[in-house]
Chains A and B, each alone.
Chain A
Amino acid sequence: DVVMTQSPLSLPVTLGQPASISCRSSQSLVYSDGNTYLHWFHQRAGQSPRRLIYKVSNRDSGVPDRFSGSGSGTDFTLKISRVEAEDVGIYYCMQGTHWPPYTFGQGTKVEIK
């Protein structure tokens, strides 16, 4: 199975400042169709996860443009340009290239300093 490793696992941030989360996979996530099935999710306390970014860098509908995804191969990053209070919670990366199974990262907890 593909192992997804996120860092950091805890990220205290200041409101209005940028934040960055790394996600590394144990093997390349480029699929035979040329796509890279690496997605990012956000989960607030007591809520269901919500997908923010699909296929590395595509924002889902309604996701603010302060969120951006980048990367290739085995190394990916989620960036928040200016953190807002509603951005707290846990962020997960997930790979959908080598399945089954889909595999998630451990999660990165973002909190306000």
Chain B
Amino acid sequence: QVQLVESGGGLVKPGGSLRLSCAASGYTFSDYYMSWIRQAPGKGLEWVSYISSSGSSTYYEDSVKGRFTISRDNAKNSLYLQMNSLRAEDTAVYYCARDSDSSSCGYWGQGTLVTVSS
């Protein structure tokens, strides 16, 4: 079955960097678009970034453009989110999600918590 497992979260100071990973299994990773979605503590869901199946196309929410980079390694069945110049408002649980049935976010990982604080 489809499994998505995020890792790489933790405590980082403002201005710092972090790289999140999402390990996919149970399906052909290279066939599907992938997203990162985040949820600040006690808040709703916010889409962050999206990457095509080949990795050739990427999209970002405005507040992370120029700071975050989404990428994937189809040989390793892995999705990444490089986060630079982190701010307190980036504090959130970050989920990776896979499309299904020609629609977004059909499968989700368990999330990884990123805390940006001095």
B89 within 8 Å of A (CB atoms):
no
B100 proximity list for chain A (CB < 8 A): 51, 54, 60
For chain A, give the interface size range: 20 to 34
Q: What's the minimum C-beta distance from B39 to chain A, rounded to whole angstroms?
A: 8
Residue from A35, A37, A48, A100 in contact with B109 in the complex, judged by beta carbons closer than 8 Å: A48
Interface hub of A41, A51, A94, A102 (most chain B Cβ within 10 A)? A102
Contacts across chains A and B counted by CB atoms under 8 Å: 69
Known contacts A103-B47, A106-B44: does B105 contact A51 (CB below 8 Å)?
Answer: yes
A101 touches B47 (CB 8 A): yes
Which A-chain residue is minimally distant from B106 (CB atoms)? A51
A71 within 8 Å of B (CB atoms):
no
A50 touches B108 (CB 8 A): yes
**Would you give the 0/1 interface string for A52-69, flagging 1 where the beta carbon is closer than 8 Å to chain B?**
001100101000000000
A104 touches B110 (CB 8 A): no
B104 touches A39 (CB 8 A): yes
B47 touches A104 (CB 8 A): yes
A96 touches B104 (CB 8 A): yes
B108 proximity list for chain A (CB < 8 A): 48-51
A92 touches B45 (CB 8 A): yes
B103 proximity list for chain A (CB < 8 A): 37, 39, 51, 54-55, 96
A103-B46 Cα distance, complex, nearest whole Å = 7
Which A-chain residue is minimally distant from B47 (CB atoms)? A102
12 contacts between A and B (CB under 8 A): A35-B102, A41-B45, A49-B105, A49-B108, A51-B105, A60-B101, A60-B106, A94-B105, A101-B47, A102-B47, A104-B45, A104-B46
Q: What's the minimum C-beta distance from B1 to chain A, rounded to whole angstroms?
A: 10
B32 within 8 Å of A (CB atoms):
no
A99 proximity list for chain B (CB < 8 A): 50, 59
Q: What's the minimum C-beta distance from B20 to chain A, rounded to whole angstroms?
A: 15
A21-B60 Cα distance, complex, nearest whole Å = 29
